[in-house]
Copies of this chain bind each other. A is one copy, B any other.
Amino acid sequence: MTMTKLANATLFDLKTGLSEEETSKKRFLTDMEKLFNDTETLQKELDAGNNPMIYEYYALDLPKTEGDIQYGTSIVYPGTLGGEYYMTKGHFHEILETGEVYFCMSGQGYMLMENPEGEWEIEELVPGRAVQVPPRYAHRSINTGNEPLVTFFTFRADAGHDYGSIETKGYRKLVVERNGKPEIIDNPKWQQ
């Protein structure tokens, strides 16, 4: 009898979140042109030849049934662009009624969430803090610290990712640096 191995496992570095066994997806400033608020500063950076990696994450090739749980790590690097902290693009799930859990392994920042009805929530990410993103909520990790913000995430494997809604409408709220501290402000460019 041939054994069909169904379980799988991946080794990550608990501090950096990186895995030598898999290849991460990397998101650079050029991938975030529609996401950062200050497009003028962004363009200046690109014109000057600066295209830093903003974040990377693992999208593992695992079963995508509604009974499986998908996992991976996300690493958002420290920095700001026009006062706005480095962050992930943020996404809804294609199956809108599914949530996600983020477990912070190192660094510090926020999980910013909003639903299509206009409600929004924010939770702090510090090492050891688990945040449960409710169904229907788009979610974005924001690094407000000086080291990489590393999270371990899990979601229903059939959830799917909708990045387009955020790229088109933007987030209602932004997290920016004011006097060296994070502040939540309304997004002046947000489109109803």
Binding site for B on A (CB under 8 A): 3-14, 62-63, 65-69, 71, 95, 97-101, 103, 105, 111, 113, 119, 121, 123-124, 126-135, 137, 152, 154-156
Residue of B5, B13, B100, B152 touching A103 (CB-CB under 8 A): B152
Report B-chain residues with C-beta under 8 Å of the C-beta of A66: 66, 156
**B156-A67 in contact (CB<8A):** yes
**B99-A129 in contact (CB<8A):** no
5 contacts between A and B (CB under 8 A): A7-B133, A9-B123, A9-B124, A14-B127, A67-B97
**A6-B154 in contact (CB<8A):** no
* A175 to B: closest C-beta gap in Å: 15
Report B-chain residues with C-beta under 8 Å of the C-beta of A113: 7
Residue of B5, B119, B130 touching A121 (CB-CB under 8 A): B5
CA A137 – CA B98 in complex, angstroms?
23
CA A119 – CA B6 in complex, angstroms?
10
**A99-B152 in contact (CB<8A):** no
**B7-A101 in contact (CB<8A):** no
**B5-A71 in contact (CB<8A):** no
**B128-A71 in contact (CB<8A):** no
**B154-A99 in contact (CB<8A):** no
Report B-chain residues with C-beta under 8 Å of the C-beta of A69: 69, 99-101, 132, 154-156
Report B-chain residues with C-beta under 8 Å of the C-beta of A135: 65, 67-68
CA A152 – CA B102 in complex, angstroms?
11
